[in-house]
Amino acid sequence: MTSFLTLTRPDDWHVHLRDGEGLAAVAGDTARQFGRAIVMPNLKPPVVSVAQAVAYRERILSALPGDSGFVPLMTLYLTEATLPAEIERARRSGCVYGVKYYPAGATTHSEAGVRDLSRCHETLRALEDLGLPLLVHGEVTDPSVDVFDRERVFIERHLIPLVQRFPRLKLVLEHITTASAVKFVLAAGNTVAATVTPHHLLYNRNALFQGGIRPHVYCLPVLKREEHRQALVRAATSGNPKFFLGTDSAPHARSTKENACGCAGIYSAHAAIELYAEAFEAAGALDRLEGFASHFGPDFYGLPRNTTSITLKRESWQVPETFPFGGDRLVPLRAGETLCWRLQESA
Ligand code: DOR
Ligand code: ZN
């Protein structure tokens, strides 16, 4: 049995680093394993301008030791007021790598998102022309649509027409959760890719109700049926470069998760690469982890692959029950449970 696994240093193509005390608490976990990360802009207020993205990038770097080597890849939050000129500024900035499309009301801090995408057509045309990717939270917000069908219906109603209208648009369907999403991505051209989270590879929706209601595995898009989890595992371990790593690690204070109206978001940055290794090993595909985690993301974004490496060791260790998180605590994925891979300290 393999007992060490060395990989080109991976990148996280979708993470929430938050701000202020939350940022200070979590940034080190992401920077310890990943060379770069696409940082979500759903702060309050959202990161809608290049100037805000540049300032947020500085706050992220200030939260890390000077020699961390970590590179935050910033994103802008698309609103119906985002102008093509801001997209041009973003392209020129050298620090913004994507524009995030949240359907208004779909998830945490998405109120400022897009209600009617036709109002953004000129801006989308600018993205397409400049080769800047659109990063999509793919769920309809129509309350008459079942929560578990929101991704599939979004693809049918919005995504298929979108890629027809903008065939050269680079698009990442983020944190995919269904066989429908896998099918859509496979059928689309090379301009379309998807990220897959560790939790959607490891859990199905039963986890939400294991012996009682489990707020710490509640996220959006919500976990789906086992057949969907299996479709995601097949896609992620297939070696197809359209599918790559994006943790969607999304920390929330314990008091806001263990709540009558608990927030959506799973914290996985404390052990992300270990969790992916576990999922790939369970599928008999450890040899495919490096492509998924370290090669396909930079290839899609047109960036060089990292030149340093990380090593995982087969070693049992227990995940802490909680971590400090500002004045509260953060409950990580697998709190108190044992993991079988462990990231080695970098030299
Ligand atoms: O579970 C989620 N949490 N899904 C999202 O789309 C947003 C995220 C967050 O920011 O907490
Ligand atoms: Zn997210």
pLDDT tens column, 102-128: 999 888 888 899 999 999 999 999 999
Asked if the model's pLDDT at residue 139 lies above 60, the reply is: yes
What separation in Å is there between the alpha carbon of 108 and the centre of ligand 1?
A: 5
Give the global pTM.
Answer: 0.98
What separation in Å is there between the alpha carbon of 101 and the centre of ligand 1?
A: 13
Contacts with 260 (C-beta within 8 Å, 6 or more apart), sequence order = none
Q: Which region holds residue 174: left if phi is over 0, alpha if psi is between -120 and 50, else beta?
A: beta
- Preceding amide of 45 cis, omega within 30: yes
Q: Whose CA is nearest to atom 2 of ligand 1?
A: 265
pLDDT band per the 50, 70, 90 thresholds, residue 347:
low
Coil, helix or strand at residue 249: strand
Coil, helix or strand at residue 318: strand
Edge-first strand order for the sheet with 71-77 is 12-15, 36-39, 71-77, 96-101, 134-136, 171-173, 192-196, 243-245
What separation in Å is there between the alpha carbon of 84 and the centre of ligand 2?
A: 24
Q: Whose CA is nearest to atom 4 of ligand 1?
A: 220
As a whole number of angstroms, the distance between CA 273 and CA 8 comes to: 12
Q: What is the arithmetic mean of pLDDT over 18-26?
A: 98
Per-residue model confidence (pLDDT) at position 285: 98
pLDDT tens column, 219-267: 999 999 999 999 999 999 999 999 999 999 999 999 999 999 999 999 9
As a whole number of angstroms, the distance between CA 158 and CA 165 comes to: 11
Q: Which tokens go with 329? A: 């605590």
As a whole number of angstroms, the distance between CA 129 and CA 10 comes to: 29
Average pLDDT, the chain: 97
Per-residue model confidence (pLDDT) at position 213: 98
Q: Which atom of ligand 1 is nearest to the CA of 137?
A: 6
Mutate to test the pocket of ligand 1, among 39, 40, 173, 219 (most ligand atoms within 8 A of CB): 219
The answer to whether 129 is a known catalytic residue is: no
pLDDT band per the 50, 70, 90 thresholds, residue 338:
very high
Q: Give the residue extent of every domain in the chain.
A: 4-346
Domain 4-346 in CATH 3.40.50.300? no
DSSP codes joined into one string, 54-80? HHHHHHHHHTS-TT---EEEEEEE--T
